[in-house]
Amino acid sequence: MDYSKEYDQKLMSADQAAAVVQSGDWVDYGWCVNTPNAIDAALAKRTDELKNVNLRGGIIINPLAVFEREDAGEHFTWNSWHMAGYERRLISRGCCYYAPIRYSELPRYYRDGNTPKPNVVYAVVSPMDKQGFFSFGPSASHLGAACEMADKIIVEVNQNMPRCLGGTESGVHISQVDGIVESDNPAVPELGAGGPATAVDKKVAQLIVDQIPNGACLQLGIGGMPNAVGSLIAESDLKDLGVHTEMYVDAFVDIAKAGKITGACKSIDRFRQTYAFGAGTKKMYDYLDDNPELMSVSVDYTNDVRTISAIDNFISINNCVDIDLYGQISAESSGTKQISGAGGQLDFVLGAYLSKGGKSFICCSSTFTDKQGQMHSRIRPTLVDGSIVTDTRANTHYIVTEYGMVNVKGLSTWQKAEAIISIAHPDFRDELIKEAEKMKIWRRSNK
């Protein structure tokens, strides 16, 4: 069937697309790399006409035109499903707020009405294929559910957006679309890994890689340490690895091109690399484009604990901000300062442990240095006041720093404290022991 006539009928300018928004509307603004560009610029021109417009999305990489004005917060509010650096700056301006979620449940929030119904969905997509589908690119995530519940769907076509093949809800059909905007085809936003791996990253990575068997299935978070793990895996003798991850990152491309990924041992989605969204460099987008080995699906599939646990030898590797002596993990805030979001970390911590042979690793450097040059321990007696517990103490499995790896699953409070202190920076161990004694979680015999 030829969809060109319908395409032409639905073609509109960015200004026409932006004109559908009314004061008080909830407007979904894509997700990560498919946040609108031309439509965003057009909507910014309407700032003075609009009040109380709630924009929604997450992991914004490029600045948004609607927030360029100093008084933008009087007209637009950004509601983030997951924070990035730009959004943290918007928080400080008073026009951005985090929406706490369990990422695996996000599509259901839309369908069950737990989050406000989208009046409009805008999303950057790849060019329409011959079957009439626009791909969401590497951002299937929850966009299928958002479109399903939306009053209006307007897509912004970008020739540079990779066409990502999938299993479920990886695109939208022209019959569902109310408008089409052809952009000037900017480059897809790139998200680097944050610089080369440090000596600490490499030490932590080596400890984890030594625990990975042939045929394991990998989930990597974003950041220097997971990226360092990926680099070591690419250089290792490991073989027949699989991928089932929330976020697809550059490290997977390196591992795949090194011949380490086949997916032959996966019990589900065999031979497919499965992911909910991706952000990285052009190298990654080129690899994802029209690649049948990749499987772009909704996040309620990738992050479902039942799906994860069905894959043997599942290896989950994620970062954190702080750890306390109870084994509580904060991966999203430092005190009341929102840094990122819950995302799917807990989903993978739970799912990996339920997997036969599976392991969940939470990794971090033992210390960090503040702006004044003072070193602090990431391992604390208790989390900073106001910090969010991302992974509860009952669910934490392996914790890794450059000083070692400990399995805290099933330990009593004094055992956890002893194990966690053993991988703290040596300069802070005596202080942590004193605090553990005050907290009544340190045995005299441990001395």
Residues noted as catalytic: 246
Spatial contact of 187 and 244, defined as CB atoms under 8 Å apart: no
**Nearest-angstrom CA–CA distance, 313 and 263:** 12
The torsion of the CA quartet 407, 409, 412, 418, rounded to 10 degrees, works out to 20
Spatial contact of 321 and 345, defined as CB atoms under 8 Å apart: no
Spatial contact of 164 and 170, defined as CB atoms under 8 Å apart: yes
Spatial contact of 187 and 158, defined as CB atoms under 8 Å apart: no
Amino acid letter for position 112: D
**Nearest-angstrom CA–CA distance, 346 and 388:** 13
- Return the sign of the alpha-carbon dihedral for residues 221, 222, 225, 231: positive
**Nearest-angstrom CA–CA distance, 172 and 128:** 9
**Nearest-angstrom CA–CA distance, 153 and 119:** 9
Q: Which two tokens stand for residue 354?
A: 């339920």
